[in-house]
Structure 1
Amino acid sequence: MTLTGTPRPLSGAPRRPTETARRLAAFLAERAPWRVYATYAVLWVCALESTLAVLTPGTDWTVGGSLLVEVVTVYLALLFVRVVDEQKDLEYDRLHHPDRPLPRGAIDVRELRVAMVLIVVAELGLTGWRSLLLTGWLLFGLLYICFLVQLERWSATVRDRIFVNLLVSYPVQAILSVHIWLSFREATGGGSAPHALVGGLLCMFVFLHFEFARKTGAQEVPGATLYSNVVGLRGSLALTVGCALAGTALVLAVVRPWELHGAAALAGWLPVTALGFLATGAERFAALRTPTWPTGPAMGYLAWQYLGLSVAALAVVRPGIGG
């Protein structure tokens, strides 16, 4: 699985800009639907920034322009990851997923690289006017994403060993979490490094529940990229369930709903209900209705946990909202 510019996808006369734009739009609609990617960006940024606001009493944090700009910045970074991954996995997809846009010829490598350039330009515009630190850190993240492609080419261990691959690829999420923290500091002047660490760990556990869940299989499948192939079913289930419980516990430690009153207390306990998605996924998986842990409940846990955290944090930061 390498980022490759083989003659086939790069050959042919250049297309008109309007045709390239149409093909890119169709590609993104299929491989990076905005409802999923934009929703994730909104929930992630809101959850992490609201966590920082709770941990920094007196911070003048509002749901406003700075937060919106950071959401768009993170959303574009996620699109960049998707575009790079499609190129990285081209050879694999030709064998196993020939119906995807790049192997079937609905888009080519040149057009995807045009998209990468356009995203970088847009990101420079979104961050450059805020601070050089935000711009530099984001560019570091985008360069790291591209570096991972070469790393997988150079190292069979990174490419083929799923836990090693997770170890070197998760920093992309961590880098973006740091960017959200830096944006929060730029906008409010608050948010210490220890508070950022708490927020980053919280987001890590919530994300890793989804990551482990979607690659936990009921049976060992030779050649499949499943965590359960390496640590066994029990080990993979322990990671899946453990991350969900750890994420929820950290959310409660941040919000401390037992110290709230009235409607604010109800809002504070809202993140706990995300465990309902954990229970649903476990029930479906245990009943062997799906060969792997169902993706829907895993995504539901992530989305509902972030939404619940944001609502609960608002009840703490803006108690007048909760009553």
Structure 2
Amino acid sequence: MIGRWGRYVVAAYKPTFHLPFMIFWAVGLTALFACVTGGVQRWRPDLGLALTAGTLVIDMLLLRALDDIRDQDYDREHNPGRPLPSGVVSERDLVALVGSGIALLLLLNAGREVVLLALAGQLGYAVLVIALDRYAGWPPGDRLVLHLAVNLPIQTLLSLYVYAAFLRAEQQRVSVVGLMAVVAVTFGALCLEFGRKATRRPRPGERTYATVFGPSVTSAAAFASAAIATAIVLVALRPWQPDAAGYGWGWLVLAPLALPAVAAVRFASGATRWPVAPTLAYIPVMYASFLAVGWLTKGASV
């Protein structure tokens, strides 16, 4: 079974992409929390953050496996090369992977009190959503907007786990600006969600928001999500205000917005789909901008 797990990881969870993606999520978001939280004077990554990043890496692998369990009937017809319908792994293999992974993550975070509760809540919600979809058929597969509403909190809860780990490490309390950062990155995730499904000519059987909203509205929603995320972060950082931690350097968070802007312009110019490269790059670049601002404002003087 371990060999099949390994082949699954190579096929469905390419480390060269997902490792930096998840590490930037953990470190970049934590840096943003450090920058907007007034009680934090100095910040540096530590072993606790390494544990948080490692948890995100494994957590996303489990979410990938849960998605494959849920989508196996659809993939059998439309994506037969996926690991589950192609026979690389069985559903039993993936269920065992998810169960073992959850146990490992809870064990790794066992001594972190509220952080453990945040993680358990996120994992429990994710398993419940996938189980309802796979075994009860809810929400129906053609209800894309309802699917989005049900699935999006999984990523929000994962960001709240990162926030809980930050608060514990820095001995801080929940703040409005910290929660604003969580809301902002949730909107950032919506940019990727809409952008990767913006197309003028859906493939046979493809599930895409373009069939619900139309290509232009889907593209506009993708860019608007990124713009809203950027606006919220700017309000939290207040780079125009001299006494704010993000003064001056906070404007760097505007840079990632160029990626969805380029994609939207190219799509409006007639591209069949949103360009893949800027769509996939936007999220890690967004988190990298948070890391840059946090390092330059709260880390450079240590």
- TM-score between both structures, scaled by the size of structure 2: 0.90
Is the contact made by 2:180 and 2:233 (CA closer than 8 Å) also made in structure 1?
no
Which amino acid in the other structure matches residue 168 of structure 2? E
Aligned to 1:310: 291
Within-5 A mapping of 1:228-267 = 228-259=210-241, 267=249
Aligned pair partner of 2:81 in 72, 92, 99: 99
Q: How many residues align?
A: 298
Aligned to 2:276: 295
1:180 maps to 2:146: no
**Aligned-pair distance for 1:47?**
2.5
Could you tell me how far apart the structure 2 residues matched to 1:147 and 1:253 are? 35
Could you tell me how far apart the structure 2 residues matched to 1:316 and 1:171 are? 30
Aligned pair partner of 1:39 in 20, 44, 48: 20
Is the contact made by 2:43 and 2:295 (CA closer than 8 Å) also made in structure 1?
no
Which amino acid in the other structure matches residue 173 of structure 1? Q
Is the contact made by 2:118 and 2:164 (CA closer than 8 Å) also made in structure 1?
no
The RMSD of aligned alpha carbons is 2.3
Aligned to 2:136: 154
Aligned pair partner of 1:285 in 256, 261, 267: 267
Is the contact made by 1:221 and 1:229 (CA closer than 8 Å) also made in structure 2?
no
Could you tell me how far apart the structure 1 residues matched to 2:269 and 2:6 are? 39
**Aligned-pair distance for 1:265?**
6.9
**Aligned-pair distance for 1:56?**
1.5
SS in 2 for 1:170: helix
Larger relative contact order, structure 1 or 2 (CA cutoff 8 Å, min sep 6): 2
Which amino acid in the other structure matches residue 22 of structure 1? G
**Aligned-pair distance for 1:203?**
0.5
**Aligned-pair distance for 1:66?**
0.9
Aligned to 1:8: none
Aligned to 2:57: 75
Query: Structure 2: where are the runs of 5+ without partners?
Result: none
Aligned pair partner of 1:202 in 179, 184, 191: 184
Higher helix share: 1
Post-superposition Cα deviations, 1:33-79, rounded to whole Å, max 9, x if no partner, equal 11222222111112221222122123253211111100011111111
SS in 2 for 1:257: coil
Note closer, same or farther for the CA distance 1:220–1:25 as it changes in structure 2 (3 Å cut).
closer
Aligned to 2:301: 320
**Aligned-pair distance for 1:274?**
1.2
Aligned pair partner of 1:54 in 22, 25, 35: 35
Is the contact made by 1:206 and 1:244 (CA closer than 8 Å) also made in structure 2?
yes
1:21 maps to 2:2: yes
**Aligned-pair distance for 1:319?**
4.7
Note closer, same or farther for the CA distance 1:157–1:318 as it changes in structure 2 (3 Å cut).
closer
**Aligned-pair distance for 1:179?**
0.9
Within-5 A mapping of 1:116-155 = 116-131=98-113, 133-152=114-133, 153-155=135-137
**Aligned-pair distance for 1:158?**
4.2
Aligned to 1:4: none
Stretches of 4+ moved more than 4 A in 1? 155-158, 219-223, 264-267
SS in 1 for 2:88: coil
Is the contact made by 1:47 and 1:309 (CA closer than 8 Å) also made in structure 2?
yes
Could you tell me how far apart the structure 2 residues matched to 1:260 and 1:78 are? 39
Post-superposition Cα deviations, 1:141-176, rounded to whole Å, max 9, x if no partner, equal 222212112322434544321110000001101111
Which amino acid in the other structure matches residue 271 of structure 1? V
Which amino acid in the other structure matches residue 130 of structure 1? R
Note closer, same or farther for the CA distance 1:192–1:134 as it changes in structure 2 (3 Å cut).
closer
Note closer, same or farther for the CA distance 1:245–1:126 as it changes in structure 2 (3 Å cut).
same
Note closer, same or farther for the CA distance 1:117–1:151 as it changes in structure 2 (3 Å cut).
closer
Larger radius of gyration: 1
Note closer, same or farther for the CA distance 1:320–1:156 as it changes in structure 2 (3 Å cut).
closer
**Aligned-pair distance for 1:93?**
1.3
Post-superposition Cα deviations, 1:75-120, rounded to whole Å, max 9, x if no partner, equal 1111110111111111111111111221121211222222112211
**Aligned-pair distance for 1:308?**
0.9
Could you tell me how far apart the structure 1 residues matched to 2:121 and 2:62 are? 13
Moved more, 303-312 or 216-225: 216-225
Could you tell me how far apart the structure 2 residues matched to 1:217 and 1:69 are? 38
- TM-score between both structures, scaled by the size of structure 1: 0.84
Note closer, same or farther for the CA distance 1:193–1:258 as it changes in structure 2 (3 Å cut).
closer
Aligned pair partner of 1:212 in 181, 194, 200: 194
Note closer, same or farther for the CA distance 1:140–1:180 as it changes in structure 2 (3 Å cut).
same
